[in-house]
Chain A
Amino acid sequence: ESVLTQSPGTLSLSPGERATLSCRASQSVNINYLAWYQQKPGQAPRLLIYAASSRATGIPDRFSGSGSGTDFTLTISRLEPEDFAVYYCQQYVISPPALTFGGGTKVEIK
């Protein structure tokens, strides 16, 4: 089973700063099958990035995804007040078919 490990667990930053979130897989991931989500308190997760680097509809361009193999990164170029939230990476595994999530990174206001 391929496990996703996100780091850091918590990121304390100020508005306007750059956020770099890491997602590391225990086995190589097809870049087409790596996604990122944002979740705010009391809300459902929202898709931000799919296929490792493609922004979902309506997602601002300050969000970007990169990476390949076992190491993936979500970057928020300049944090806006509404970006403070928890972020999850997720992979789709073909065999056996499954979806797995990382444990999440909380981006909090410093």
Chain B
Amino acid sequence: QVQLVESGGDLVKPGGSLRLSCAASGFIFSDDYMSWIRQAPGKGLEWISYIDSYGNIIYYADSMKGRFTMSRDNARNSLYLQMNSLRAEDTAVYYCARLGRSGYLNQWGQGTLVTVSS
């Protein structure tokens, strides 16, 4: 069955960097657009970015541009999110998800927790 497994979440100091990974299985990864979404503790969902099936087209939420970089490796069935200059407000659970052609997120991973604190 479809599985998305995020990893890489950790406790990091303000100003630090972190790279999240999402391992995909159970579907043809190279066929699908993918997305990252986050959720701060006790808060709602916030879209971060999405990437086309080839990794050539990437869009970011305005608030994420410049610090976050999304990429994928179709040979490894993996999705990545490089996060730099982290701030306390980046503390959240980060989810990867499959993005359907009509812009809905039809499969989600279980999430990985990123905590930014000194």
Contact = CB atoms under 8 A, between A and B. Distances in A.
Interface string B95-111: 10000101111111111
A91 B112 CA distance: 24
B105 A47 contact: yes
Main secondary structure of the interface of B (DSSP, over half): strand
Contact of A99 (B50, B106, B107): B50
Nearest to A91: B103
A35 B59 contact: no
Contacts of B115: none
Interface residues of A, number: 26
Interface stretch (B15-23, B41-49, B72-80, B81-89): B41-49
Contacts of A101: 44-47
A50 interface: yes
Nearest to A101: B45
B93 to A, nearest CB: 9
A45 interface: yes
A76 B80 CA distance: 36
B105 A56 contact: no
B106 A50 contact: yes
Nearest to A94: B103
B105 A37 contact: yes
A99 B35 contact: yes
A60 interface: no
A104 B61 contact: no
Contacts of B45: 37, 39, 45, 88, 90, 101, 104
Ranked 7 nearest A-B pairs via Cβ: A92-B103, A35-B104, A44-B108, A99-B47, A50-B104, A97-B59, A101-B45
Interface of B: 35, 37, 44-47, 50, 59, 61, 95, 100, 102-111
